[in-house]
Amino acid sequence: MYYDSTLILLVPAILLSLYASFKVNSTTKKYFKVNASSGMTGEEVARRILNYNGLSNVPVLPVAGELTDHYNPRSKSVSLSEEVFYGRSITSISVAAHECGHAIQDKEAYPAMTFRSALVPTVNFASSASWLIIAAGLFMGSKLLWLGIILFSATVLFQVVTLPVELNASKRALVQLETLGIVGLDEKKQSYKVLSAAALTYIAAALASIATLIRYIAIANGRD
Residue 71 sits at φ, ψ, to 5 deg, of -110, 130
**Span from 2-10, 14-22, 112-120, 158-166 in contact with Zn ion (CB under 5 A):** 158-166
Query: Between vectors from CA 113 to CA 108 and to CA 117, what angle results, nearest 5°?
Result: 120
Between residues 134 and 169, which has the closer beta carbon with respect to Zn ion? 169
Between residues 199 and 213, which has the closer beta carbon with respect to Zn ion? 199
**Shortest distance (Å) from residue 110 CB to Zn ion:** 12
Which is catalytic among the residues 43, 44, 83, 99? Answer: 99
**Shortest distance (Å) from residue 101 CB to Zn ion:** 7
**Shortest distance (Å) from residue 49 CB to Zn ion:** 14
84 close to 92: Cβ distance less than 8 angstroms: yes
CA-based torsion, 170, 172, 174, 177: positive or negative:
negative
How far apart, in whole angstroms, are the C-alpha atoms of residue 184 and residue 187? 5
**Shortest distance (Å) from residue 95 CB to Zn ion:** 9
Between residues 44 and 166, which has the closer beta carbon with respect to Zn ion? 166
Q: Which DSSP symbol is given to 61?
A: E
Asked if 82 is an active-site residue, the reply is no
72: helix, coil or strand?
A: strand
How far apart, in whole angstroms, are the C-alpha atoms of residue 96 and residue 2? 41
How far apart, in whole angstroms, are the C-alpha atoms of residue 172 and residue 110? 12
Here's the x/- map for Zn ion, 165-204, by CB under 5 A: it reads as -x--x-----------------------------------
**Span from 45-53, 115-123, 163-171, 183-191 in contact with Zn ion (CB under 5 A):** 163-171
Q: Which residues bind Zn ion (CB under 5 A)?
A: 166, 169
Q: Catalogue the active-site residues.
A: 99
